[in-house]
Amino acid sequence: MMTIVRSFLTFALCLLPSALCAAQTPPAQSPAPAASAVASPILRVFLDCYECDTEYQRQNVTFVDYVRDRADADLHVLVTTQDTGSGGSSWTVKFIGLGRFQRQDRTFTFTTDQAATGDDRRKAFSRIFKIGLLGYAAETSVAPQLDLTWTEPTQLRSSADRDRWNSWVFRVNLNGNLNGERASTFKSARLSFSASRTTDNWKINVSMGGNVDRSTFLLEDDRTVKSQRDNWNLSSLVVKSHGPRTSSGLRAQLWHDSFGNYRRASRIAPAVEFDFFPYKESNRRSLAVQYSIGPTRYQYVDLTIYDKMEETVPTHSVNLSVGLRQPWGSLSAVADFAQQLSHRDRYRSGVFGNADVRLFKGFSFNLFAEYARIKDQIALRKGTASTEDVLLRLRQLATDYSYFYGFGISYSFGSIFDNIVNPRFNGPGFFFF
């Protein structure tokens, strides 16, 4: 064994200086751009996409250079996705020309199926990405090596299921989790069902779901602490479109939540919504205001601090939301206010904001924050909470406010390129717990 150790150490010591040496000299495989009538260098692309598997694109779409920052690019490829009525994705790929390609912008859209695997999705994007790049790359030194292929389809796409279900889509999801060691175990299960129908004029969604969490802790004095949280809900939303900016809707809900002390609660509330931008631009910008009004009926698990076991409360609420996804980054914010109509002093108001901004070359920041002022905790349990209730967050505690925030800044500099995929010694990959 020691021989092996010794030989490794010898190898390692040899490795270190050569590694540092390599860092100072150009690599052996430096390219010689292909001779061409077109003198322009390789197209520099900034791929701005969360869902494209960029490592796969860098490994498979190799007729462009990838750069890490928009400021170094000839072309900014901005990709956004939205859910389709069947649960798939509708992709919008915007090619934004920069520098010598200024004002040469193109937009392509395509969809992937709800059953598409990661491989299907990255391949579908890759094809559109390549075709979109073609017009720009044709003006660079790789032009002689590019060609477009077309294979004649063997049969026409069938759209047989187009009418049979009248746009209804049904989904069932079941998930279970189990983990543990000697002194603690955790189990959870979740089941949900939904039926939805999405068209341009109507959106209908009916869903139900339930969730159970159980934990056990074995303390050092051999006491066992058990915890349990459960909730379920049945909800429906029906939305009718009125023109490109206005919609009306009706929400009806029935739910149970042990954390919040709700044995059963139900609410029905009609609502209207207005978007200052047309809804069809919603993947890039929206500014919407929504108002809803209706009664809520509560039945509690334990007696509340107001000595109630049940009550009915009429409430109304208004919220204003803004969403932007632009070349400089993305921004979204929501402000909402909900008030009991029978006790005007019982209300809740909150603001939430989220920003992800590229401020200048190499520098970006992200921020999300929410603050809520809470004056409507009518469901609080009477009596004091135990230590376990507090530490394991098993019940709602009295509070006038709640907040959360996250803030991050990142600065990078150095090589502008991001072409190479080197997976060696990455450790086990492909895990999605």
Partner 1 sequence: MRRFLCAALLGVSTLVGATGLARAQETRTPSDQPATLRVSLHCDLCDLAFLKTNIGFADFVADAETAEVDVTVSAPAATSTEWKLAFAGRGRFAGRDRAFTFSAGAAAIDETRKELARWLKIGLAEYALDTGAGAQLDVKFNRPSTNTSTPSANRDRWNYWVFRVGVDAFGNGEQATVSRSYFVNTSANRTTENWKIRIGGYRSLNWNSFDLGDGETIESNVSDWSADTLIVKSLTGHLSAALTASVTGSTFSNEERVGQFAPGVEYDIFPYSESTKRSLTIQYTVGPAFYDYEAETIFGKMTEKIAKHTVSTSLGLSQPWGQAGGSFILTQQLTALERTRLTFSGSVRVRLTRSLTVNASGSYDRIRDQFTLEKGEASEEEVLLRQRQLATGHRYRFSFGFQFSFGALSNITVNPRFSL
- The minimum distance between CB 63 and partner 1, in angstroms, equals 5
Contact mark string toward partner 1, 295..334, x via CB under 8 A: x-x-x-------------------x-x------------x
Touching partner 1, residues 189-228 (CB under 8 A): 195, 197-204, 206, 217-221, 225
In contact, 254 and 234? CB cutoff 8 Å: yes
- The minimum distance between CB 303 and partner 1, in angstroms, equals 18
Please name the residue that has the structure tokens 């390789």.
42
Touching partner 1, residues 93-112 (CB under 8 A): 104, 106, 108, 111
Return the DSSP state at 200.
S
Touching partner 1, residues 396-415 (CB under 8 A): 397-415
Neighbours of 430 (CB within 10 A): 5
- Which CB, 50 or 153, lies closer to partner 1? 153
In contact, 259 and 426? CB cutoff 8 Å: no
- Give the C-alpha separation, 353 to 333, whole Å: 4
277 near partner 1, rule: CB under 8 A? no
- The minimum distance between CB 281 and partner 1, in angstroms, equals 9
Choices 142-150, 300-308, 340-348, 353-361 (CB under 8 A): range interacting with partner 1:
142-150
429 near partner 1, rule: CB under 8 A? yes
433 near partner 1, rule: CB under 8 A? yes
Given CA atoms 81, 84, 89, 92 in this order, what sign does their dihedral have? negative
Q: Please tell me the count of residues contacting partner 1 according to CB under 8 A.
A: 193
Among 99, 100, 102, 127, binds partner 1 (CB under 8 A): 127
Among residues 383, 188, 416, the alpha carbon closest in space to that of 305 is found at 383
- Which CB, 307 or 400, lies closer to partner 1? 400
Choices 24-32, 300-308, 341-349, 353-361 (CB under 8 A): range interacting with partner 1:
24-32
In contact, 257 and 381? CB cutoff 8 Å: no
Touching partner 1, residues 349-378 (CB under 8 A): none
Alpha helix stretches (DSSP H) within 160-204: 161-164
Contacts with 129 (C-beta within 8 Å, 6 or more apart), sequence order: 47, 52, 57, 61, 77, 93
- Give the C-alpha separation, 305 to 371, whole Å: 24
Return the bridge partners of 227, or none: 215
Among residues 45, 49, 44, 57, the alpha carbon closest in space to that of 330 is found at 49
Q: For 120, phi and psi rounded to 5 degrees?
A: -60, -45
- Which CB, 100 or 240, lies closer to partner 1? 240
- The minimum distance between CB 398 and partner 1, in angstroms, equals 7
Among 39, 159, 307, 360, binds partner 1 (CB under 8 A): 159
- The minimum distance between CB 375 and partner 1, in angstroms, equals 13
Touching partner 1, residues 375-394 (CB under 8 A): 384-385, 387-388, 390-393
172 near partner 1, rule: CB under 8 A? yes
- The minimum distance between CB 323 and partner 1, in angstroms, equals 9
- Give the C-alpha separation, 116 to 367, whole Å: 32
Please name the residue that has the structure tokens 């590019």.
146
